[in-house]
Amino acid sequence: MPVSAAAPVLHTIVVLTYNRKDVLAELLLQLQRISRPDVEVVVVDNCSTDGTEEFVKASFPNFTLVRLPINMGAVGRNRGMAIARGSHVITIDDDILGLDVTALEAIASMFAVDSRLGAVCFRVIDHYSGLVCNWCHPRDPQLHGETSFETNEITEGAVAFRREVLDQVGLYPDEFFISHEGADLAARIIDRGYEIRYTPQVTVSHKYAQNARPGWRRYYYDTRNDFWLAIRNYSPLFIMLHLVRRLPATFIYAVRDGFLHYWVKAVGDALLHLPEMMKQRRPISREAHLKLRLLNKEKPGLGFYLKKRLFAKRVKI
């Protein structure tokens, strides 16, 4: 899909990849079939060592390649989002399939009819089972997976943003590497008075690729970034409530799965770098806090989370 420098771009699709050349190839072949002059594709290579850079340059010369000097984790998306020329910035992971012209038209329509819509989270289904997966929203996916609703979360690997909103609130915090960067950005979007919606109108599939995902990372980054998310964005009361709810949960998961060492290290690192996070602190408004609380009231009960998390080891991320 060649795009001339002068051509207006409606959609920029930012693909983040790391050492998954074979997985990436399937996605890029799909995106190549979107032969529209108002669509550009930016591939962000997170310092892969498997020949990804050479492969993209040789096989997909019409796509823009951003090669990072180090692995920045999930927030490597920032480098692609920063150069996006589209009015809508779509970010997908390299193992997400199914984004097509119909999906792009649905995204454009949703943004066109609602000027306060800041982001659209896609419905993600498992490529093999067809079941809803990658769920982070404050509702039961079995009850609400087929409905559209307002959310306070962002599915970073399957989401579309209104570019002007990103220009106002900024991108993901680089320091987070991975985990809770979506919640951080969501808080800032909501604070500006915009809405984030989940919709099944855009459905993609996750062909889950295990490689390049060490098992310890969830226990470390979830815990460390819980602190930083709260410190950067929340009021003192909200910080306390957030940590009282979250830290015991991540502790239990770490003990259950044999990763207690990483939980302890995460807490230590979070506190060690607390002064840096305090410098970045920009508390959201009272109205935004109320909106977060209102949306969180839709969360399912304790039994749902016990079944989903306490008795299900090593949830895929």
Please give the helix or strand (H or E) that residue 97 lies within, else none: strand 96-97
Q: Which domain range does residue 59 map to?
A: 11-206
Q: What CATH code is carried by the domain that includes residue 20?
A: 3.90.550.10
Enter the DSSP assignment of 310: I
Specify whether 184 is located in the same domain as 229: no
Specify whether 33 is located in the same domain as 132: yes
186-214 tens-digit pLDDT: 999 999 999 999 999 999 999 987 664 66
Quote the pLDDT of residue 86.
98
Confidence of residue 300 (pLDDT cuts 50, 70, 90): confident
Number of domains into which the chain is organized: 2
Query: Which residues are bridge partners to 187 per DSSP?
Result: none
Distance CA(170)–CA(292), nearest Å, equals 19
Instruction: Judge whether residue 35 has pLDDT over 90.
Output: no
Query: Which residues are bridge partners to 315 per DSSP?
Result: none
Domain end point (choices 152, 174, 206) = 206
| Tokens found for residue 9 | 């771009």
Residue 300 within a domain: yes
Specify whether 286 is located in the same domain as 183: no
> What are the two backbone dihedrals, phi and then psi, of residue 106, each rounded to the nearest 5 degrees?
-65, -40
Residue 154 within a domain: yes
Task: Collect all residues with Cβ–Cβ distance below 8 Å to 197 and sequence separation of at least 6.
Answer: 110, 117, 119, 120, 121, 148, 149, 150, 151
Specify whether 166 is located in the same domain as 294: no
Q: What number of other Cβ atoms are within 10 A of residue 4's Cβ? A: 8
Quote the pLDDT of residue 216.
92
Quote the pLDDT of residue 302.
56
Specify whether 175 is located in the same domain as 252: no
The mean pLDDT of 149-158, rounded to a whole number, is: 97
259-285 tens-digit pLDDT: 999 999 999 999 999 999 999 999 999
Residue 5 within a domain: no
Instruction: Judge whether residue 315 has pLDDT over 50.
Output: no
Distance CA(159)–CA(135), nearest Å, equals 12
Specify whether 190 is located in the same domain as 229: no
Radius of gyration (C-alpha) of the chain in whole angstroms: 19
Domain end point (choices 182, 206, 230) = 206
| Tokens found for residue 293 | 């609380």
Specify whether 244 is located in the same domain as 117: no
Distance CA(209)–CA(258), nearest Å, equals 23
Instruction: Judge whether residue 6 has pLDDT over 90.
Output: no
Please give the helix or strand (H or E) that residue 145 lies within, else none: none
